[in-house]
Amino acid sequence: MKLPTLLLSSLLATSIYAADQNASITPADIKMEGVSYIKKLGGTLKSELQEHMTVDPTAVAAFGFCTAKAMEITEEVNKALPDYAKVRRTALKTRNEKNIADATDIAVMESYITAIEAKTFTPQDIKVVEEGNTTRVYKPLVTNGVCLKCHGQNVSKEIQEMITVSYPKDQAMGFKAGDLRGVIVAEIKKTAEK
């Protein structure tokens, strides 16, 4: 497999899973690999969001950025991953319907909400789910003050207008600080598909 030089060093550290299928790869290795892919997507989106929020604290520029680029960035990050891996965002209440959750996603998110309600939750609670040929690694996304500018109970008139225009079926509103907003999930296949 030919990889762009830029990515080679980071992938060397993480793609042990497919490179050595028969060796003793532990669940901890897979978890670590999944977390590294989650960080790639989460880190890129987070730094872009922060940059746009700094330039324009009304969140209007950042909203335009998320609408235009969040999916594109997700695709780019995925192109740079090994063929057997994929990473995406999902939520119980989605803004973009393309991010809709499946049954496994829903079960994991419900368990995070139960932990939040029971006050046993920590944002470091990474969940690993084995599903047939695939291992899924989940990281929870909890809302803070920044998120609420676009997902909260009192968004500005400008943001509300942008939501109405771009996401007529939006559900990702009305959150409070500390709520589960969604998850990032990495999916890692046990045998690399040819």
Where on the chain is the footprint of ligand HEC (CB under 6 A)? 49, 59, 62-63, 66-67, 70-71, 89, 91, 94-96, 99, 141, 143-144, 146-147, 149-151, 172, 181-182
Burial 139-174 (b: 16+ CB within 10 A, else e): bbbbbeebbbbbbbeebeeebeebbeeebeebebbe
Minimal distance, residue 147 CB to ligand HEC, in Å: 3
Minimal distance, residue 98 CB to ligand HEC, in Å: 7
CA dist., res. 102 & res. 37, Å (int): 20
Task: State the CB neighbour count (10 A cutoff) for residue 42.
Answer: 17
Q: Among residues 82 and 140, whose Cβ is nearest to ligand HEC?
A: 140
Minimal distance, residue 46 CB to ligand HEC, in Å: 7
Residues 6+ apart with CB under 8 A from 50: 146
User: Between the CA of residue 23 and those of 19, 20, 28, 97, 136, what are the distances in Å?
Assistant: 9, 6, 14, 39, 20
What does the block give as tokens for 118?
């029971």
Q: Among residues 27 and 178, whose Cβ is nearest to ligand HEC?
A: 178
Minimal distance, residue 186 CB to ligand HEC, in Å: 14
Q: Among residues 11 and 91, whose Cβ is nearest to ligand HEC?
A: 91
Minimal distance, residue 103 CB to ligand HEC, in Å: 17
Q: Among residues 82 and 182, whose Cβ is nearest to ligand HEC?
A: 182
Give phi and psi for 157, each to the nearest 5.
-60, -40
Q: Among residues 133 and 176, whose Cβ is nearest to ligand HEC?
A: 176
Q: Among residues 162 and 188, whose Cβ is nearest to ligand HEC?
A: 162
What does the block give as tokens for 26?
């532990």
Minimal distance, residue 26 CB to ligand HEC, in Å: 29
